[in-house]
Structure 1
């Protein structure tokens, strides 16, 4: 537990900047501002975390080294996964309006979700910032790709990302490290996709396939990035941003600090700091700052804004528009798996690779000719990676399937003892999976708000969600499933299980399950329909900034992290510039 004297001392000092949240956005802001000489206080609701600390290292451990044999009893992705938090955290509830199925993932560790994410590092393209101009739905961002490109370039160089330049207009090229070679199942996917017209390229992941500085190592291909890398070869805010920020001597890191509200001056209306509850002692403290940056995640940032009420801000700070909490949207997600008979009885060898797919398919369709307006990309899985505990991936689903009986025995797969072991060896490496991740259309009636009757164990009012997929997203999921079937057929594979149909929205995951929520405090030029301006500065409070995915106007058919990082860097440079000009 952290020494409370640190908290008492923090009340006396007025920091140049107070940042809430240490994930991608908060970590980048801390890195940029401390390097510029600012005295920064970084609040994190979770515990300290360094993936190279011996007590945290789980890379290369065998499943049987877990007391639960790797089962996800204590954490949602397994005991060895660097996911301290989850969709359900004891004492930290959230509620849903009738019919809503939104699930909200929270991380409780320095670095946040970046410790265990998929490292998929895609830039938004020109079309992603101007969707309303293309299809008439939602709103355009007040900035475009040309505004963001210099920052994407800087993030590429600072953090490192592998990939290849392909000249795709809406999947922009970057500054890439060499990608790893495609594995056997990925070569088969590429061949099948070429035959049916689906583009497939090397993935773009923030994993160092060669060193870029002296502080970080190179990937050693254990495929366990989700456990967080002890060599710092993949990107996590904790190791790549927060650690260097601390090394400047300008960072005061306060873990176990659950932010309650942004405090304000009653006369000027400016932000004066943040009040928070120590999660261990349950005592309340406050920290003062000349500038406040919220980067707690789209949901937590919205909760902070809405809970920061005063006579000047009766509906929550920076919420004169009434837009805070509205337009929340998460990536769509649907998946399918198959078994490839031509891969039965493979020779076994190490095929771990990096912690993720070596290939992906960016959106290739023309939505003007389809019955849904926004696209998706495809992520692929498979191969002979290190088996986890209970890795059977549905071998029981092969029972009774004539195509999968053992040659000459006319017996279903599986069973017990020696025959079970024989079948696992036979089928190992023949499984492939497909996951679509797509763009929804933001809607005002998808929102989060403060529940008037429920508080968490810290006494802080909780969020209540209202969310529903539209026909657009459901039709997109159907297209995903039809595409997966096409690829499986082109590979000569056999689908696992029944194809999801209309009764399950074609396998469309419940909102929040993809953990890509954005858009609760959107940016814009119109102060009556947005919360922050194009620099992520609150319209109502000039010394309050947002540095996570809350300002996103739309999701894009790409993962959000690279844009969070680039936006936070852009906002941080604006803060530095305005401070030099004495405007803040």
Structure 2
């Protein structure tokens, strides 16, 4: 059952704030255990199978912008994510020259509607980095604690890949991967020459059926639009909506949570939220509150949840809420492959993302940075969309230098079309996604002078990359150039230098932010215990990426899902024991 506005007098067993990976998983596990659940979501409902929500397979001319991005869909007018880095009436601020950009996805399923679905497990070393390099802190749990839950997530959701036996890139239960595309085969030749591994990707898209409810990938390469047959993983379609059909789950949409409410003893009693439908405030009651609103949003809610028992915000007696914020590093490079120019046209769309990737292979003890990165590969003859030919000026220079003069009047009209056809399918590139070192001085806090349109105090960010991340970005570009040239490619553009931090994107741009409510055994230096339970409030839990002690060189979603499942099992156990 779905609600836009409701003031509940009766208490739920559990209120879950947010419906993304963590909140979605919690809604499924807790409701299947027989608990009554309320899911409170700041955005609207969303199902890509419904015609009013479908963007998949829509041609560019169906958009007045030919598919170009908008403020609320910065990745393209047909991208599934509704939100972005800049949302009207929902500002955030920065200090000390910070460039942090905060992406929010206001819809059921959150960011899982449009993500790349790179579904990597953290490895044994990723939980114990401080023991390896002396930086940051170890997690209070290890890989063996999460392995059973990674296994369950693999089987429930589905992920393709191959067993490779790489120690810190653990294998799972894999569906068959799609074959490499031509540009990936070219780049593998370059990687092989350098002794750098390049293996089939691990993405959560169904290449084989796993149940009757979901379809199988038909290789349209538009997973960022969310799948109308639910063949890719989105929390709304795979977790929240099925939970609503099977269990006692109420969904509150367009509901902006202001704070966690508490009683005189400091226990959580529910949440207060502002309905976007009438701008009035409502309250819901529950025995347990679970925050899964995203690392920064959950931290914001906790810091705004002040009371006599929690004067600095609920769960924040240590002052650690908002601290150790960190995002993945990222930078990119592109090349043109002469031998792929003017080739025969055929459909090589594949899945919506990379068919092959490179896990971290280096020995950081021999390098000038402490943490690694993985490489994502892209290119090929994807269906032309808005922006195709947009970098023709730089590409035409290389056509001129390497292959003679381009078409007459190639900057527009028939000449431009001829050049685009020549180049189409011959460009390829690489993206690095790496681990940054968590820093106490990278944080979000409540801005004392700014509120959003709902009257809720907003976040203010302080974040700076360190030499660790800058040196890592330089290594990325050195590697990119060598792989691309060894593959036979001609590099496009110039190599970024130290003045741009070697092309290192601003923090927040990779949308992997973690660590704001980190777990630990010591309540003085952490927010949550190893079960993602607040040290200061035993009926408050966090199930997004906030509990992460460190990020790893992998995407965080599979670990969010595994942790959320583990936390949900713990909640059920503690409720049954009447401990909370």
Q: Classify the TM-score, shorter chain.
A: over 0.9
Indicate yes or no: 2:161 matched with 1:158. no
How far residue 416 of structure 1 moved from its aligned partner, in angstroms, is 2.8
* Residues 405 and 412, structure 1, Cα contact 8 Å, conserved in 2: no
**Aligned residue number for residue 464 of structure 1:** 460
2:391 corresponds to: 394
Tell me how far apart the structure 1 counterparts of residues 408 and 396 of structure 2 sit (CA, whole Å). 5
Of 73, 84, 87, 2:85 maps to: 87
Q: Take 1:414 and 1:579, find their aligned partners in 2: how far apart are those partners?
A: 69
Residue in 2 that maps onto 1:549? 545
Distance 2:530 2:546 in 1: 13
Which runs of at least 4 in structure 1 moved beyond 4 Å after TM superposition?
Answer: 402-407, 409-413
Contact 2:396 2:406 in 1 (8 A): no
Distance in 2 of aligned mates of 1:195 and 1:578: 54
Task: Give the CA deviation at 1:98.
Answer: 2.4
Name 1:511's counterpart in structure 2: 507
CA distance in 2, matches of 1:131, 1:320: 26
In the alignment, the residues of structure 1 paired with residue 181 and residue 159 of structure 2 have an alpha-carbon distance, to the nearest angstrom, of 19
Aligned partner of 1:243 in structure 2 is: 241
CA distance in 2, matches of 1:226, 1:578: 38
Matches within 5 A, 1:132-171: 132-171=130-169
- SS of residue paired to 2:476: helix
Output the CA distance in 2 between the equivalents of 1:538 and 1:195.
Answer: 50
Q: Does the CA-based 8 Å contact 2:407-2:418 persist in structure 1?
A: no
Provide closer, same or farther for how the CA distance between residues 119 and 404 of structure 1 changes in structure 2, counting only shifts above 3 A: farther
Determine the structure 2 residue equivalent to 1:129: 127
CA distance, structure 1, for counterparts of residue 272 and residue 568 of structure 2: 22
- Aligned equivalents of 1:227 and 1:348: distance in 2? 24
Tell me by how many angstroms 1:228 deviates: 0.4
Equivalence for 1:559: 555
Q: Is the 8 A contact 1:406 1:413 kept in 2?
A: no
1:527 to 523, 529, 541: 523
Aligned equivalent of 2:534: 538
1:73 corresponds in structure 2 to 70
| 1:162-188 C-alpha deviation (Å, 9 max, x unpaired) | 000100000000000000000111111
d(CA) in 1 for partners of 2:391, 2:483: 20
Give the alignment partner of residue 41 of structure 1, picking from 28, 38, 42.
38
For residues 208-242 of structure 1, what are the alpha-carbon distances to aligned partners after superposition, in whole Å with 9 as ceiling and x for unaligned?
00110000000000000000000000000000000
Deviation at 1:419, TM superposition (A): 2.2
Quote the Cα distance in structure 1 between the aligned partners of 2:150 and 2:257.
30
Aligned length: 578
C-alpha distance in structure 1 between counterparts of 2:311 and 2:276, whole Å: 27
Alignment of 1:49-60 (within 5 A): 49-60=46-57
Q: State the superposition RMSD in angstroms.
A: 1.3
Could you tell me whether the CA contact under 8 Å between 2:32 and 2:247 is conserved in 1?
A: no
Change in 2 beyond 3 A, CA 1:67/1:329: same
Partner of 1:14: 11
Instruction: Give a deviation string over 1:536-559, Cα, whole Å, max 9, x none.
Output: 000110000000000000000000
2:202 matches 1:210 = no
- SS of 2:224's partner is helix
Question: In 2, Cα distance between the equivalents of 1:342 and 1:393?
Answer: 21
Q: CA 1:410–1:212 in 2, change beyond 3 Å: closer, same or farther? A: closer
Q: Which string of whole-angstrom CA distances, capped at 9 and with x for unpartnered residues, describes residues 367-394 of structure 1?
A: 0000000000000100101010231151
Name the residue aligned to 2:262: 264
Q: Distance in 2 between matches of 1:425 and 1:228?
A: 29
Unaligned runs of 5+ in 2: none
Residues 269-312 of structure 1: per-residue CA shift (max 9 Å, x gap): 11000000001211000100000000000000000010000111
The verdict on how the C-alpha distance between 1:411 and 1:253 changes in structure 2, with shifts beyond 3 A counting, is: closer
Once residues 345 and 538 of structure 1 are traced to their aligned partners in structure 2, the CA distance between those partners, rounded to angstroms, is 60
Q: Residue 158 of structure 1: SS of its match in structure 2?
A: helix
> What is residue 188 of structure 2 aligned with on the other side?
190
Offset at 1:73? 2.3
Q: State the secondary structure of the residue aligned to 2:448.
A: strand
Gaps of 5+ in 1: none
Conservation of the 8 A alpha-carbon contact between 2:407 and 2:419: no
Query: How far, CA to CA, are the matches of 1:60 and 1:525 in structure 2?
Result: 49
Where do 1:443-462 residues align within 5 Å? 443-462=439-458
Counterpart-to-counterpart distance in 1, 2:274 and 2:56:
33
The whole-number CA distance in structure 2 between the counterparts of 1:89 and 1:416 is 35
Residue in 2 aligned with 1:100?
Answer: 98
SS in 1 for 2:501: helix
Q: 1:405 touches 1:413 (CA, 8 Å); kept in 2?
A: no
Once the 2 structures are TM-superposed, how far is the Cα of residue 144 of structure 1 from its aligned partner?
0.3
Q: Check conservation: 1:263, 1:274, Cα contact below 8 A.
A: yes
Cα distance in structure 2, aligned partners of 1:314 and 1:416:
63
Aligned positions of 1:27-38 closer than 5 A? 27-38=24-35
Distance in 2 between residues matched to 1:46 and 1:114, nearest whole Å: 14
Judge conservation of contact 1:395–1:413 (CA < 8 Å) in 2.
no
- Asked if structure 2 preserves the Cα contact closer than 8 Å seen for 1:337 and 1:431, the reply is yes
For the residue of structure 1 that corresponds to 2:6, the secondary structure is: helix
For residues 410 and 421 of structure 1, the distance between their equivalents in structure 2, rounded to whole angstroms, comes to: 11
Residue 330 of structure 1 and its aligned partner are, at CA, apart by 0.2
Asked whether the 8 Å contact 2:31–2:243 carries over to 1, the reply is yes
